[in-house]
């Protein structure tokens, strides 16, 4: 008999994902090592155990294998470790701000206690988001655009340290740990919580002499400018990322994340291709002709084949925006809207009568 993950979380075998989440949430709050400074080692083991159970039971495939074969069916090679855990986000949600300030969710950490154990590390700045309106022609032409935005930049006065002497001292409140423990009594129960140190905001260090420009934060909010060329095939759903162009913090800068709010003008987007309606004179539609069309990179004369029908598609290969897959350009698809005159002259009427009476005209339409 191997481990029973259901028993570990105290849920029954029919538990829904929500039940499992709730059970994990309750147990995580109980066993997080940083909330159990008295018996940290034990809590750490227990926290790992419930996290392993959570990892298995939240994954449909693993859960099904476990139901069928027990622990043998899902055993981790060399035992479970934090690299196999996929739910850091949930832990972050459970503990909220408390741990997020210590690097939770920042990526690149190997275990969830990293933030609290040992040396306090410097924080990385947050990402900055901007949305840029731009029309499809400018994108297709690969035009360079200037983007102005606000971000927190390194204070030049103190070189980002927050100290006008550029020297930092160990925080006297938390003695460099970045957090403080607090206990409060509720009847006979003593609650112990860990909070971010307010003196140093979790940095563990304080300026020797507070910089007068940034008031000790090490950064100032400023307008910045960058030049970019939006990728010629970019979709409005995509996020264009510029590394280190976000908010500055001593531990590193966040990224700038750009979303393009694309104005398609008279075009409609269909995956890589663009579609556009064109007006075709009914005579050109019947006899064939030429129509001038504004495309992405200028005007082009397009051949209208004889016998073009309403809504018929004329494909202009390679006239579109860049394909997502590679360097080649996608197509522009023109949709023929046949234009009929509302009024005609007497002469034109006579000619049409003549056309109508011409033998063979009706045979196309009627039996
Ligand atoms: Zn402190
Ligand atoms: Zn400064």
280 φ/ψ angles, rounded to the nearest 5 degrees: -120, 125
108 band by pLDDT with thresholds 50, 70 and 90: very low
- What is the CATH topology of the domain spanning 268-364? HSP40/DNAj peptide-binding domain (2.60.260)
User: How do strand 128-135 and strand 256-263 relate by DSSP bridges?
Assistant: parallel
> CATH 1.10.287.110 region(s) of the chain?
5-100
Closest CA relative to residue 152, chosen from 250, 225, 224, 219: 219
Ligand nearest to the CA of residue 207, numbered in listed order: 2
Find the ligand nearest to 164 CA.
Answer: 2
Give residue 207 CA to ligand 2 midpoint distance, Å. Answer: 10
CATH class, domain 128-167+208-263, is: mainly beta
Ligand 1 centroid to Cα of residue 124, in Å, is 17
DSSP E strands, 229-357:
239-242, 256-263, 268-270, 273-281, 289-295, 298-304, 313-316, 332-339
Band the pLDDT of 304: cuts 50, 70, 90: very high
CA of residue 52 to ligand 2 center, whole Å? 45
Centre of ligand 2 to C-alpha 317, Å, is 56
The residue behind tokens 């693993």 is 62
User: Which-ligand-closest: CA of 218?
Assistant: 2
pLDDT digits (tens, 9 = 90+) for 305-355: 999 999 999 999 999 998 887 778 999 999 999 999 999 999 999 999 998
CATH 2.60.260.20 range(s) for the chain read 128-167+208-263, 268-364
CATH architecture of 5-100: Orthogonal Bundle (1.10)
Cα of 180 from ligand 1 centre, angstroms = 8
Residues 209-267: tens digit of each pLDDT: 999 999 998 999 999 999 999 988 888 888 999 999 999 988 889 999 999 999 999 99
Question: Ligand nearest 170 Cα, by number?
Answer: 1
């Amino acid at each position: 008999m191997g481990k029973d993950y259901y028993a570990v979380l105290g849920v029954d075998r029919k538990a829904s994902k929500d039940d499992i989440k709730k059970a994990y949430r309750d147990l995580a709050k109980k066993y997080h090592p940083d909330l159990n400074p008295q018996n940290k080692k034990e809590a750490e083991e227990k926290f790992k155990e419930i996290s392993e159970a959570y990892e298995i039971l939240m994954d449909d495939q693993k859960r099904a294998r476990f139901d069928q074969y027990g622990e043998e069916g899902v055993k981790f090679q060399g035992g479970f470790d934090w690299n196999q855990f996929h739910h850091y986000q949930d832990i972050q949600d459970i503990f909220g701000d408390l741990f997020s300030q210590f690097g939770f969710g920042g990526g690149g950490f190997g275990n969830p206690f990293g933030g609290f154990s040992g040396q306090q590390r410097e924080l990385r700045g947050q990402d900055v988001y901007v949305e840029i309106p731009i029309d499809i022609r400018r994108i297709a032409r690969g035009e360079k655009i200037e983007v102005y935005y606000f971000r927190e930049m390194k204070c030049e006065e103190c070189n980002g340290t927050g100290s006008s002497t550029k020297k930092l001292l160990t925080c006297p409140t938390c003695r460099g740990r970045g957090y403080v423990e607090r206990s409060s009594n509720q009847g006979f129960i003593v609650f112990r919580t860990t909070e971010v140190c307010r003196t140093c905001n979790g940095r563990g260090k304080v300026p020797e002499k507070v910089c007068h420009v940034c008031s000790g934060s090490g950064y100032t909010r400023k307008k910045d400018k960058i030049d970019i060329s939006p990728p010629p095939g970019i979709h409005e759903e995509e996020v264009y990322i510029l590394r280190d162009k976000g908010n500055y913090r001593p531990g590193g800068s966040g990224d700038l994340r750009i979303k393009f709010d694309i104005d398609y003008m008279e075009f409609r987007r269909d995956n890589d291709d663009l579609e556009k309606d064109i007006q075709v004179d009914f005579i050109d539609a019947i006899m064939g002709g030429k129509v001038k069309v504004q495309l992405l990179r200028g005007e082009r004369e397009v051949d209208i084949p004889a016998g073009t029908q309403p809504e018929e598609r004329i494909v202009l290969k390679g006239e579109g925006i860049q394909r997502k897959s590679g360097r080649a350009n996608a197509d522009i698809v023109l949709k023929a809207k046949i234009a009929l005159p509302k009024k005609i002259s007497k002469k034109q009427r006579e000619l049409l009568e003549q056309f109508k009476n011409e033998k063979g005209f009706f045979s196309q339409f009627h039996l």
